[in-house]
Amino acid sequence: MGAQWKHKGRTEHAAAKGRLFTKLVKELIIAAKAGGPEVGSNPRLRLAVDQAKKASMPRDTLERAIKKGAGLLDEPVNYELVTYEGFAPHQVPVIVECLTDNKNRTATNIRVLFRKGQLASTGAVSWDFNRLGVIEASPPEGGADAETAAIEAGAQELEPGDEGATRFLTAPTELDAVSRALTGLGWTVSAQSLAWVAKNPVHLEGEQRAEVESFLEAMDEDDDVQNIYVGLK
């Protein structure tokens, strides 16, 4: 759990699904704004579209977000990426990435959310994280050796992923190349992103871990919070 934290129950009810759609729409807009509206030539948009489809986002919502990001609609797009660093309860390091159209609102909300932890200055936490490309992929039918695939695709490291998948770690500049190489080897890529990966994740159990999980869930419920990276095993 040393990379991106994901709320396991995000899609279990309507309110949670609405928040998920808000985050996915923002990612679609930013991806289209940065690399254009063509999925074939924009790896970030391709993955954002895949994630939106897996979440059962309506097609018109998905297409409108892409057009909005690409500047094909009259509505202006002014989302900014703002990153906060700090500690969850029990000194667990946390990096929070927000996409916002109002930095003052976001800063106020984040300060409130960090009251059960500790908001820190820039650099106070990120020094203990590596910036890496992270690819989650499942092996082809019949199985395949993950270590061999990592070597052939050019990944730096690998670790167990969710539901039998493998998480491949790469240099940030090699993210798309390694993802394409894995696909060529028959692996199914379910997610890829640039992430903060903790160098020394903290191990907690019982009530202490529950406190941290509760803190992260509350943070994730804020619409401006896009990604949470936590140093927790």
pLDDT tens digits, one per residue of 156-167 = 999 888 778 899
Mean pLDDT is lowest, of 74-78, 101-105, 107-111, for 74-78
The CATH number of domain 130-197 is 3.40.50.150: no
- pLDDT at residue 17 tops 80: no
- pLDDT score for 1: 46
| CATH number for the domain formed by residue range(s) 80-127+199-230 | 3.30.70.980
Average pLDDT over residues 169-176: 92
Q: Name the residue ranges covered by the structural domains of the chain.
A: 4-69, 80-127+199-230, 130-197
- pLDDT score for 11: 46
Q: Do domains 80-127+199-230 and 130-197 have the same CATH topology?
A: yes
User: Ramachandran region of residue 182, left (φ > 0), alpha (ψ -120 to 50) or beta?
Assistant: alpha
Q: What is the mean pLDDT of the chain?
A: 89
CA 219, distance to chain mean position in Å, is 14
Q: Is the pTM of this model over 0.95?
A: no
pLDDT above 90 covers a percentage of the chain that reads: 68
- Which of the listed CATH numbers 3.40.190.10, 3.10.129.10, 3.10.400.10, 1.10.10.200 matches domain 4-69? 1.10.10.200
